[in-house]
Amino acid sequence: MLKLYNSLTRMKEVFEPLGPPFVGMYVCGPTVYDEPHLGHAKSYISFDIIVRFLRAAGYRVRYVQNITDVGHLLDNEAGEDRILKKARLERLEPVEVAQKYENSYFRSMDRLNNLRPDISCRATGHIPEMLEMVQALIEKGYAYEEDGNVYFDVRKFAGYGKLSGRTLDELREGVRNEPAEGKRYFADFALWKKADAAHLMRWRSVWGMGFPGWHLECSVMAAKYLGESIDIHGGGLDNQFPHHECEIAQSEAASGKPFVKYWIHNNMVTVEGQKMSKSLGNFVTLGTLFERFTPMTVRFFVLQGHYRSPQDFSDQALEAAGKGFGKLARTISDLREKISRVPAEGKDVPEGPWGEYRERFFAFMEDDFNTAGAITVLFDLAKRIHSVLDTVPKTDLIQAERLFSFLSEDILGFRFQDVERYSSGSLESDLIALCIELRRECREQKLWTLADRIREGLMTMGISLEDGKDGTRWRKKT
């Protein structure tokens, strides 16, 4: 029985999808105006785990993620948005900026081994649908037009504030900026903004040339691909208000139906104890991070925390995570060597001698995706496997490999080939075999210094040697 924390009710609830076995899940994607960073890693790994686990639990998930490639205003008076600003700075078309960073985003997500969404949809590809929703909201009396801008009238929507737990009065106290011209009420938000010719990304509408408000794309694309009521909507905690609050208002006002059954928000990251921001100069892109830590180390690190807890990225913590991950990687490597078998696709879930571990793993995952707890089961299993590696029947080891692979690769999304051997018969493996043979002869003649030089030399090339009873084995250093 899967329980998950619903931000809407602020409680853990039993997961009961609207139309099992199907699950519709929408996750707010990136605004593609810059390189992906640490926050994206934590966020999208967290949601990847949710998709993977739901599938492992038997659900048929449709995972939709948007790409925000259109105009959201910066604070400045020029009315410039992030993408347009970047386009000006890099001397690119806005579409080129969006494409460039979308590519970069997916490259990084691929390296983290996050599954691609089933539908990746761009805001700019859904302008007609957005215009329809704005029109519908005006016709139903939830929105009004003022000089080419269209605003949502939050006082008409009774539930405004239910997600973030704020009342309009509380919101008013927190107001720091003067409301924009033309708004009837301070909390009203833009559905459509007019744009002059200097604004490169603009579209024709019955209210004149303009561009859509930020919140609109998610309401429209979620409805288009998942229906008016969806099971799960995910995103960063920083988007809970106002973005998701506004999505609810638009969608529910337009459809008259509940928009989302379960809201899931992941928490934020800090860097060496500080908020990550460009102004503090501690902004870490994934490209930079991957120069120092492997994507799997980052994935392991993220999963050792909980998605609803904040997480601090520090060198010390990442290094520790890398070592821990290496231990898991060696386990499956040892296991596969022992059973002379590469992992099969579509593996079964054994009920046999390892069933207890599977149950414990699932119990953690079913409790609001407690990946940290699930990983402890993996370590227990690894320890058990190593203890019995030379004593139990091969059939048991085959089952162990299937289970370990199912839990760690399929569900947690780890990828272990980094520590596996070069394919046999390759130049590398032949050369390494030669070194090992030469070292063996040195050792027979007790030429320890020379033998150690060979071992250390290989070590500096990232190859570690391990002497065992059955001879020397080697593997790529993790």
Partner RNA sequence: GGCGGCGUAGCCAAGUGGCUAAGGCGGAGGUCUGCAAAACCUCUAUUCAGCGGUUCGAAUCCGCUCGCCGCCUCCA
Q: In angstroms, what is the C-alpha Rg of the chain? A: 26
Which one of 187, 249, 365, 432 is in contact with RNA (CB under 7 A)? 187
Strand partners, 120: 65
Among 30, 94, 212, 343, binds RNA (CB under 7 A): 30
- What single string gives the DSSP state of each residue in 173-198? HH--SPPPTT-SSTT-EEEEEE--TT
Nearer to RNA, 35 or 428 (CB): 35
Q: How far apart are CB 412 and RNA at their closest, in Å? A: 13
Instruction: Annotate each residue in 295-324 with x if it binds RNA (CB under 7 A) or - if it does not, as one string.
Output: ------x--xxx--xxxx-x-xx-xxx-xx
**Whole-angstrom distance, CA of residue 99 vs CA of residue 4:** 35
Residue closest to 328 by CA, chosen among 415, 396, 395, 423:
415
Q: For the chain, percent helix, then strand, then coil, each to nearest 5?
A: 45, 20, 35
Size of the site for RNA (CB under 7 A): 92
Residue with tokens 């100069």: 281
> Is 73 near RNA (CB under 7 A)?
yes
The nearest distance, CB 20 to RNA, in angstroms, is 25
The span from the CA of 144 to the CA of 149, in Å, is 8
Of the CA atoms within 13 Å of residue 254, those in its CB half-sphere come to 28
Look-up of token digits 């690894």: 382
Nearer to RNA, 86 or 243 (CB): 243
- 161-180 footprint of RNA as x/- string (CB under 7 A): ---xxx---xx-xxxxx-x-
Cβ distance to RNA smaller for residue 325 or 406 = 325
In contact, 366 and 2? CB cutoff 8 Å: yes
Q: Is there binding between residue 205 and RNA (CB under 7 A)?
A: no
In whole angstroms, how close is the CB of 318 to RNA at the nearest point? 9
Q: Return the residues of window 332-351 that contact RNA according to CB under 7 A.
A: 334
How many angstroms separate the CA atoms of 45 and 42, rounded?
A: 5
Q: How far is the CB of 149 from RNA (least distance, A)?
A: 13
Kindly state whether residue 74 participates in binding RNA, applying the rule CB under 7 A: yes
Q: Are strands 269-271 and 274-275 parallel, antiparallel or unpaired?
A: antiparallel
Candidates 155, 395, 466, 471: give the one binding RNA (CB under 7 A).
466
User: Candidates 17-25, 117-125, 264-272, 422-430 — which segment interacts with RNA by CB under 7 A?
Assistant: 264-272
Report if residue 57 touches RNA, rule: CB under 7 A. no
- Using CB under 7 A, which residues numbered 98 to 137 contact RNA? none
Between 255 and 464, CB nearer to RNA: 464
> H helices within 91-140, ranges in order?
94-111, 127-139
Partnered with residue 232 across adjacent β-strands are 25, 262
The residue range among 191-199, 250-258, 285-293, 373-381 that interacts with RNA, by the rule CB under 7 A, is 373-381
Q: Which is nearer to RNA, 285 or 464 (CB)?
A: 464
Asked if residues 8 and 75 have their Cβ atoms less than 8 Å apart, the reply is no
